[in-house]
Amino acid sequence: MPWQEQSRMSLKQEFVTLAMQEDANMWELCRRFGISRPTGYKWLRRFQQDGVAGLVDQSRRPQQMPTQTPPAIEQQVLALRDQHPAWGGRKLRHWLVTHGRETVPSASTITAILRRHGRLDPTESAKHTAWQRFEHDAPNDLWQIDFKGHVPLEQGRCHPLTVLDDHSRFAVGLVACADEQFATVQVELTTLFRRFGLPRRILTDNGPPWGTPHPDQQLTIMSIWFLRLGIAVSHGRPLHPQTQGKAERFHRTLKAEVLRPPLAVDLLQSQERFDAWRTLYNHDRPHQALAMATPASRYQVSPRPFPETLPPLAYGPDDEVRRVARSGQIQYRGHAYFVSQALRGQRIALRPTLVDGVLDVYFMYHQMGTIDLRHPEPTLVSADPLAV
């Protein structure tokens, strides 16, 4: 695994947190993180004995966290707020309590301290009204994937790729990408799939490389890859950002806490900032929607491993299989039917229904549409099961 590309401490902390989860498969975790089992058990033992400090490489000088006690409680609160400018009274109080601070004031008192010292912007506070959101029952039931636009750097631009587990709010990935092309995204998602396994479903918007605004196209190269991996795909409805409400909220937090001046120099420095903040977000930052628990405390890796070779397409004995031409069409009984240009070269199936003369068209388990041969000029009527 490319350990040199991310903070070693971040990955060590993430490993031991996942290894301590109930029913964790130690052998599989070590394989996914690219370490030996003796090394994995060594890290786990050191973490249980000494906490995060035990994960510091023994040959290096340990990293120190500030331990000095501020002269007054207000100074303590303000110092923590300065470290996390987007945290409110409840998060600050929870952090102080869980980190063993004595005489911690109430959340409302902390909010008053922040307001008295000019740390709160009323216009920003008004934006933080919670949405009522649906939550999936288990980790990896659904991942929300998106780009947080693109942000300027001193050298070029950064396209932050975000991958969020719906159940736990665990930030599976936060990657500084140079572009939003399929090849770039595929490489980064492959790394995440190898480490965390495959989700059952992925939710994205309709923009590239995830989807297409053209209803007659339906699938993209990206969604075809997901389907080949056995991952179901859903797209949010256009003009309904609340469909991906957790991703939108995550992006807002990312903007407030990371994507602010000073600008990063390049993609490498952006990734260093992302890695440090992702560790904080997953393992240390209290999450209000989780009753002030951390996302890592509710996340477990997926039991579905990433297949290094895509499984072959398999259809039933009653299916009539056709290969999609370069034009995106198939030929059947003297008629041409447009399916999708993204499927060119792939095999699809025409499957009989309970109605004689009516066929459903499938790519794997995804229904593309229906053909009614009873009409003089039959056409493929598209289905749209991807929108939610």
Cβ atoms 142, 132 nearer than 8 A:
no
- 211 and 275 together in one domain: yes
- 80 and 200 together in one domain: no
- 48 and 78 together in one domain: no
pTM of the model as a whole = 0.72
- 150 and 222 together in one domain: yes
How much of the chain is helix, strand and coil, in % rounded to 5? Answer: 35, 20, 45
- Residue 312, in any domain of the structure: no
Residue range(s) defining the domain that contains residue 8: 3-55
Residue 163 parent element (H or E): strand 157-165
- 293 and 155 together in one domain: yes
- 335 and 207 together in one domain: no
- 149 and 288 together in one domain: yes
- 198 and 246 together in one domain: yes
- 152 and 216 together in one domain: yes
Q: How many residues does the chain have?
A: 388
- Residue 305, in any domain of the structure: no
- 272 and 234 together in one domain: yes
CATH of the domain at 108: 1.10.10
- Residue 309, in any domain of the structure: no
- Residue 80, in any domain of the structure: yes
- Residue 337, in any domain of the structure: yes
- Residue 315, in any domain of the structure: no
d(CA 130, CA 137): 20
- 147 and 240 together in one domain: yes
Instruction: Kindly give the confidence (pLDDT) of every residue in the chain, 388 residues in length, as a single tens digit, with 9 standing for 90 and above.
Output: 444 445 677 888 888 899 988 888 989 999 988 889 999 999 999 888 888 888 887 654 444 434 333 445 777 777 777 777 777 777 777 777 777 776 777 777 777 777 776 676 654 544 444 444 555 678 999 999 999 989 999 999 999 999 999 999 999 999 999 999 999 999 999 999 999 999 999 998 877 787 776 655 568 899 999 999 999 988 876 545 555 678 888 888 899 888 888 889 999 999 999 999 999 999 887 766 667 788 888 899 999 999 999 988 989 898 999 999 999 999 998 899 998 888 999 999 999 988 899 999 999 888 888 999 988 888 888 775 444 4
What one-character-per-residue DSSP string does 220-248 give?
-HHHHHHHHTT-EEEEPPTT-GGGGHHHH
First to last CA, the chain: 35
CATH of the domain at 177: 3.30.420.10
Number of domains in the chain: 4
Cβ contacts of 368 within 8 Å, gap of 6 or more: 218, 219, 339, 340, 348, 361, 362, 380, 382, 383
- 179 and 214 together in one domain: yes
